[in-house]
Amino acid sequence: MKPTLLLALALFATLPAQAGDTTPAQQLQHWSAQAGSPGDAARGQAFFTKRHGGEWSCASCHQAPPTRAGQHASTGKAIAPLAPAVQPDRLTDSAKVEKWFRRNCKDVLSRECSAQEKADVLAYLNALRP
């Protein structure tokens, strides 16, 4: 085997999940399968916009609907729109989706989100149009 090919393979093997390894539709499918029932956009919208006992809702940072840029609720840093129809690189990196669900669900609900909640939110996000 050529050294360059070996190198390419070695590089590939060490790379974690990365941008482009999934699509918004695949993410919705994945979490719907995990939940055992399809994501529901209306339920996702309600979940996204309400507070869950804490200070913040998802929309506190992401806006409602998240088709516009948001702003971090405590630091003020700009956050790109979350809707894939507006921001095409959204929901295309499975590790990133998983990481931000974990972190942000803890911020908003003080726990991780269930598979059904994730499926619902994804259904909502995927249905948004500019």
Partner 1 sequence: MNARHLLPLLALIAAPLSHADSDRLMPARVPDAYKAECAACHTAYPPSLLPAASWQRIMGGLEHHYGTDASLDAATVKQLNGWLQAHAAQGGRRGVAPPNDRITESAWFVREHRGIDPAVWKLPSVKSAAQCAACHTGADQGDFDDDRIRIPAGVTPAQRRAFLD
Least spacing, CB of residue 95 vs partner 1, in Å: 9
Nearest approach, Cβ of residue 98 and partner 1 (Å):
10
Scored b (16 or more CB within 10 A) or e, 37-53 reads: eebbbebbbebbbeeee
Bridge partners of residue 70, in order along the sequence: 79
Nearer Cβ to partner 1 (4/75): 75
Q: Which residues pair with 71 in a beta bridge?
A: 78
CB-nearer residue toward partner 1: 18 or 37: 18
Of the pair 69, 79, the CB lying nearest partner 1 is at 79
The pair phi, psi for residue 93, each rounded to 5°, is -135, 105
User: 81 preceded by cis ω (within 30°)?
Assistant: no
Q: Outline where DSSP puts E strands in the chain.
A: 70-71, 78-79
Which residues are at the interface with partner 1 (CB under 8 A)?
71-72, 74-77, 79, 99, 102-104, 106-107
Minimum Å gap between C-beta 96 and partner 1 is: 8
> Which CB atom, from 37 or from 112, has the smaller least distance to partner 1?
112
CB of 45 to partner 1, least distance (A): 23
Per the CB < 8 A criterion, the answer to whether 125 and 84 are in contact is yes
